[in-house]
A and B are shown apart, each in its own frame.
Chain A
Amino acid sequence: MTKKIRALGIGAVVVLWAALAAFAWIKQPDAFSDAERRKLAQFPELSTKELLSGEFVSDFEEYTLDQFPGRDLFRRLKAMVHYNVLQQQDNNGIYIENGYAAKLEYPLDTEALNYAIGRLNNVYKTYLEQSGSKVYVSVVPDKGYYLTQENGYPAMDYEKMFSAVKQGLPFATYVDITHTLGYGNYYFTDTHWRQEELFLTAKTISQALGATPPNPSEFTKTALSRPFYGVYYGQAALDLEPETIYIMESDLLKECKVYGYDPSKPTSVYDMNKLTGKDLYEVFLSGAQSLLRIENPNAKTDKELIVFRDSFGSSLVPLIVQDYKTVTLVDIRYMDSRMLGQFVEFKGQDVLMLYSTLVLNSGKTLK
């Protein structure tokens, strides 16, 4: 009896193994993973050169992982075993705390930080030192700043980072916004902050800039029609709930025009074309853009603002735009800062350098 059960059972395991192998051989490759928000590896080029160099082997191995049948299901199984059976606190560095998915940002990468500070110094010396601009700098804490303090997760030395930014950019007035936020100001499944929760932050920055703080009563909170699956939704590979992105609309913002690469085709502050895209957060100022200009015909002053920023700036800037006739947003992750003079005239505008701890701690991303 025991022998029979064993023989049948092991036969079933062998069949399962064979079935997975057969699927792996015959499955048509997918082009894109919605869960992971990335293109999937395709079958590599097969040539003698690629074979001898070992490139074919490494590319093929990547292909087999990306195209494995039921990849998302297997990733979910792994996450469940990792969290629930092995009781590991994080999966691929993603942890869930108080319902919020966040990534362990540890340790502090001082080399990356010093590089970023160096790049911003370079921008100042090249464009701002002689322009008469007032420069402000603010560091956006990632939600781990709040979650790790309360829950004992390893975290980068945030205070050391803030201090290094203050000391490394002595020409700029440092605007501390850590007290204006908490983890509740961020999306559950994404790195970013919620625009509807940023009025205190926008007020703090506006006051530092000498501008009028936004008045929440002038804004209307509007939910986007599609559910939002943040970047950690796919990375955590757990059954997390999708959430809603709200945008804060106002009459003033509706009148604003946003100019990107093509000056003949202005867009809006909230780009509804992105509603059909992979990342709903791109609704804010059209997502990743190296250079944008917001024209505000109803500005209360003739002042102009230049914001050196990452993606956190996309949802904050609409809340601080009201006083400024023009706001220029520069993302030197996507353009070489040495080319900037060809596109932007520096003539004493207010300048805000707004970077998240994630960008400052993640390699040499600023150009």
Chain B
Amino acid sequence: MLFSGIPFLFYFLPVVLIAYFLVPQRFKNTVLLVFSLIFYAWGEPVYVFLMVATIGLFYGCGIAIGKSTDITKKKFWLTVSVVTSLALLAVFKYADFLLENINRFTGAEIPLLGLALPIGISFYTFQCLSYTIDVYRGDAQIQKNIVSFGAYVSLFPQLIAGPIVRYVDVARQLENRSHSWENVTLGLRRFLVGLAKKVIVANQLGELTELFRSAQEKSVLFYWIYAIAFALHIYFDFSGYSDMAIGLGRVFGFRFVENFNYPYISKSVSEFWRRWHISLGSWFRDYVYIPLGGNRVSKGRWVFNILVVWMLTGLWHGAAWNFVLWGLLYAVFLLLEKWVPALQKMPTVLRRTYVLLVVVLGFVLFNAADLNQAVSDIGGMFGMSGVPLVTGTTLYYLKSYSIILLAALVGSTPIVRTAAQKLENRPVGAVLEIVMMAAFLLVCTAYLVDGSFNPFLYFRF
């Protein structure tokens, strides 16, 4: 089920809210678990059993790790949980990629599994892993209540596209969280902002990228419009989803970690990754990079660690070579930034331009169907595809999408937030906020009712 869908907004969510706020405190997690499973089963009627099994397995492993005093047994149960989760990812997400490459390089004809990817598997397995690892490390207490644990793993606000919520961050809230009208209103406000980012901005930009793909008359300008539109599209799509998730979490009394912090104003690639998909970056830092030794190792080993982490980050996004290269591209620039201090001494405008160029080109690689298309798209941006600089079709689409592109560019900076903060404590600010919320609700509903283009990019991860 999509947050940005009529069934969720007007059928599912109202029922969940009524049920949740009607039941006593001790049953609230049960309500969340039941509705989260329904939410998941709506799109994955078969794989919901996989999720239930995953909950059971990690619950058991957590108990076994936490209750055991023998380090060997602790290690054994941790290994079981890690291997199982990686096996799940390997089978459902990476097996066909591996088999395709074996077939390609050896000439073998091993049939592909052709399994559909369970929605959100990369998110919830990472959440489960954080739990057992943290229990093993002694950073988290075991969760004895399977309903509470099940609610943590399957919590529908962030189930299928994050943020990746670590168990330690919500352990206390699972047991004891407060509910208030303020939480509800702030949560719904955040949700509506995310919905508007998704439905009004991201979907239009996504449509533009689709129009680029189907256009017969491409031009150098159109390639650039496409690249910029996609970079903005993925930001508004994903950060919009995160806003909705964080907002819904707040309605139910949870405080989820922030996932985005205006990444496109970054002055370095390393800063970009501190602002983009923060929960994933910190997960890889804490559960892969630091256990590998981080930067407190020899230079060669450190380079190896960086390459491994970024290759895995790329692979996490998808089982294809363009994702691997996309991850490694960032590894290269992160290393460059460490080794070439001059990059950090450039004027701010040049540093931001450099980051935006890397990010935009990176997303062209990211969004390509394959490496050939990536080469063709990047070549097209630099006039190497034999297309004219500009065509009438390009100008039409530029004109048609200029307002949305401009709004997206402004919205990807803190300008709007700063203005909103200045008005926040004034009556005019409150009135403006309410008008905006009502407008977002009605306009988003109007766009959804019209059945417009409405995919979610991060569902495939």
Contacts and interface: CB of A to CB of B under 8 A. Distances in A.
A2 B425 contact: yes
Given A65-B6, A89-B400, A10 B189 contact: yes
Contacts of A7: 181, 185
Given A10-B437, A74-B449, A90-B400, A2 B430 contact: yes
A361 B419 CA distance: 49
Contact of A152 (B214, B392, B442): B392
Interface stretch (A15-23, A132-140, A276-284, A331-339): A15-23
A101 to B, nearest CB: 16
B6 A64 contact: yes
Contacts of A224: none
B446 A154 contact: no
Nearest to B5: A61
Interface stretch (B166-174, B300-308, B401-409): B401-409
Contact of B430 (A9, A12, A57, A92): A9
Interface in A142-183: 152-154, 157
Interface stretch (A75-83, A214-222, A349-357): A75-83
Contacts of B429: 2
Contacts of B192: 13
Contact of A74 (B42, B393, B404, B445): B445
A288 B195 CA distance: 43
Contact of B11 (A5, A21, A71): A21
Contacts of B204: 86, 88
B446 to A, nearest CB: 4
A78 B451 CA distance: 11
B46 interface: yes
A153 B396 contact: yes
Interface residues of A, number: 50
B17 to A, nearest CB: 9
Given A10-B189, A68-B6, A87-B402, A75 B446 contact: yes
A64 B10 contact: yes
A57 B42 contact: yes
A78 B392 contact: no
Nearest to B192: A13
Given A6-B434, A21-B10, A108 B216 contact: yes
A16 B438 contact: yes
Contact of A25 (B11, B447, B452): B11
Given A7-B185, A86-B404, A17 B216 contact: no
A9 B434 contact: yes
Interface centre among B396, B446, B452 (most CB of A within 10 A): B446
A107 B216 contact: yes
19 contacts: A9-B433, A10-B185, A11-B185, A12-B434, A13-B192, A16-B441, A17-B9, A20-B10, A20-B445, A61-B6, A77-B443, A78-B450, A85-B403, A89-B396, A90-B400, A106-B215, A107-B214, A152-B392, A152-B396
In the A-B complex, list the 6 residue pairs whose CB atoms are closest, starting with the nearest: A9-B434, A78-B446, A89-B400, A107-B216, A77-B446, A5-B430
Interface of A: 1-3, 5-7, 9-14, 16-18, 20-21, 24-25, 51-52, 54, 57, 60-61, 64-65, 68, 71, 74-75, 77-79, 81, 85-90, 92, 106-108, 152-154, 157, 237
